[in-house]
Structure 1
Amino acid sequence: MDRVAEGGEKGLRAYVCQELDYEIALRWQKDLVAKRKSGEIEDTLILLEHPPTYTMGSDQKWEHLLYPQDFLRSQGFSICKCDRGGDITYHGPGQLVVYPITRLRDSGLTPIGYVRLLEQIICDVLAMYNLEGQRKKGYPGVWLEDRKICAIGIGISRGVTFHGLALNVNPDLTHFQNIVPCGLAKFGVTSLARELEFSPEMSIVKQQIIASFERNLNVKCSVSIDQRMSGGVHHENGSEEKSVALS
């Protein structure tokens, strides 16, 4: 499945992984961000699933976690603080998480333009299933009417992005009932499986996401399958990082 950029064209590297612990994936992102800043690597995508995890963004509204942390941990959920923008959200099996590590200036994108790009990438994938993804003014992410199907929350460090998007393919939607997802009590969440009444193969959705990145960024993508993270990565935590957008 490897496809290498031809003739010096701008390239994109995608790592297609299985389930990976959230904090390990975050350390991996930080290592890739440092390498992208120094020019050691090209723009990179990580595609994976997480074990059941609640993550809190920069808004720090812990009241949106509806049960005590110790109780949720006893039920098998991890709870993590992170440096993306936004409120609390859920990650878990059946949800495809995509972390793009990209240098914005190379694509001529502003932070808001980048969020709009991520939304368009997901809308294009939904269209393959005859679903019309929508934007909701003031609420980043992708919606089907008042049902959120994809959360978006990004971080930027010296012009290089991390964190990203989470598309609900076939997660356990009851796990969202333990939180106020992204702080939006008046809206619901949905998934491809709920909308289609069948669950697309996760491997197929990953391929569709990669193809949509290629089209929208006009790049060729080299894909590596089952590249797993190991320990010992450098975790950059400089003062120049900032969080933008919401989940």
Structure 2
Amino acid sequence: MNKPLIVRHLGRRNYLPVWKQMQNFTNERAPQTPDEIWLVEHHPIFTQGQAGKPEHLLDPGVIPVIQTDRGGQVTYHGPGQLVAYLMIDLHRVSLGIRQLVTLIEQSIIDLLKDYGIESSARREAPGVYVDQRKIAALGLRVRRGCSFHGLSLNVNMDLEPFSRINPCGHPGLEVTQLTDLGGRSDLEHVGEQLVRHIEAKLG
């Protein structure tokens, strides 16, 4: 029998405490623990994934850099960006990690389509792109068959810090955001829509 999916709205938080809470949740969860999605907005931070290379940090300046345990390379989080962390028991929903990545990407693509924005995913570079510009990044970790970390979607933010890195390890990669493409600027509304798409695909 499927467990309920709990959605938590965390507001604007520092990255490090939320990361530690994700780790603790995943380490302590039991087979009967309901899955959760956390929606959050972070104060400015660069995060390096497990595959991150120092040369992709071009000029971080005063913005802190944290080495994390998620997959992928360097990305930026800041105000105006929607971050969704997915704590999902993959056995319970009969998904592998690649299938979860595809589910997340397709949920973002469907969300953007709600605003009349055509987008696509790239198998060789996870994330979602609009006209070759990246609008959403993914970085996941799976422990004991359960996922944590998740996705970031640029909604209504200052994109300048992305110029200080090679986003996701790709030199010269341009980024874009929802409001510049005619979409909504309200993170809470966008987050609720995204969760609906994810819930529908998780069944």
- Which amino acid counterpart does residue 110 of structure 1 have in structure 2? G
Matches of 1:139 and 1:60, distance apart in 2:
14
Q: What is the 5 A alignment of 1:86-97?
A: 86-97=72-83
Matches of 2:33 and 2:3, distance apart in 1:
12
Deviation at 1:145, TM superposition (A): 2.2
2:103 to 86, 107, 117: 117
SS of residue paired to 1:165: strand
Between the two proteins, the alignment pairs up a number of residues equal to 203
Residue equivalent to 2:28 = 35
Residue 15 (structure 2) pairs with residue 15 (structure 1): no
Residue 182 (structure 2) pairs with residue 203 (structure 1): no
Deviation at 1:9, TM superposition (A): 4.4
TM-score by length of 1: 0.79
Matches of 2:43 and 2:126, distance apart in 1:
24
Matches of 1:192 and 1:111, distance apart in 2:
27
Deviation at 1:187, TM superposition (A): 2.4
Residue equivalent to 2:38 = 46
Matches of 1:92 and 1:187, distance apart in 2:
18
SS of residue paired to 1:26: helix
SS of residue paired to 1:10: coil
Deviation at 1:137, TM superposition (A): 3.1
Q: Is the 8 A contact 1:35 1:41 kept in 2?
A: no
Matches of 1:156 and 1:132, distance apart in 2:
30
Structure showing greater Rg: 1
Residue equivalent to 2:92 = 106
Higher relative contact order (CA 8 A, sep 6+): 1
Q: Is the 8 A contact 1:54 1:89 kept in 2?
A: yes
- Which amino acid counterpart does residue 211 of structure 1 have in structure 2? R
Seq. identity, %: 36
Q: What is the 5 A alignment of 1:1-247?
A: 9-36=2-29, 38-39=30-31, 41-67=33-59, 72-73=61-62, 77-196=63-182, 199-218=184-203
Matches of 2:146 and 2:77, distance apart in 1:
23
Deviation at 1:66, TM superposition (A): 0.8
Q: Which runs of 5+ in 1 are unaligned?
A: 1-7, 219-247
Q: Which runs of 5+ in 2 are unaligned?
A: none
- Give runs of ≥4 in structure 1 deviating > 6 Å: none
SS of residue paired to 1:152: strand
